[in-house]
Amino acid sequence: LSCRHYRRRQLCVAACHFLHGEPREFAQGSECFECHPECERMEGSVTCNGSVPAPRCRPGPTAPPQPHSA
């Protein structure tokens, strides 16, 4: 599936949920992936960026260091 902007699962979308929407996401290439569910949501900033360990993801005490991908 080739999309103009981003792809979430098998749907083309204009943008990932970087700053707004649920669940918050990050992009790898043109694919949207969900942030790990235990990452603390950051208002006005990107919640996670997909790196391991994710410096912009503030995990809870039991959260694994990597983001959750769908």
- Domain total for the chain? 1
Residue 27 belongs to a domain: yes
Residue 56 belongs to a domain: no
CATH number at residue 15: 2.10.220.10
Per residue in 1-60, pLDDT tens?
789 999 999 999 999 999 988 899 999 999 999 988 778 888 888 888 876 555 556 544
Residue 66 belongs to a domain: no
Question: Which of 24, 65, 21 shows the shortest CA–CA distance to 41?
Answer: 24
Q: Which of 21-58 are b and which e, b meaning 16 or more Cβ less than 10 Å from the residue's Cβ? A: eebbbbbeeebbbbbbeebeeeeeebbbebeeebeebe
pLDDT at 63 over 90: no
Residue 55 belongs to a domain: no
Which amino acid, residue 18? F
- Which residue range forms the structural domain that includes residue 25? 1-48
Residue 68 belongs to a domain: no
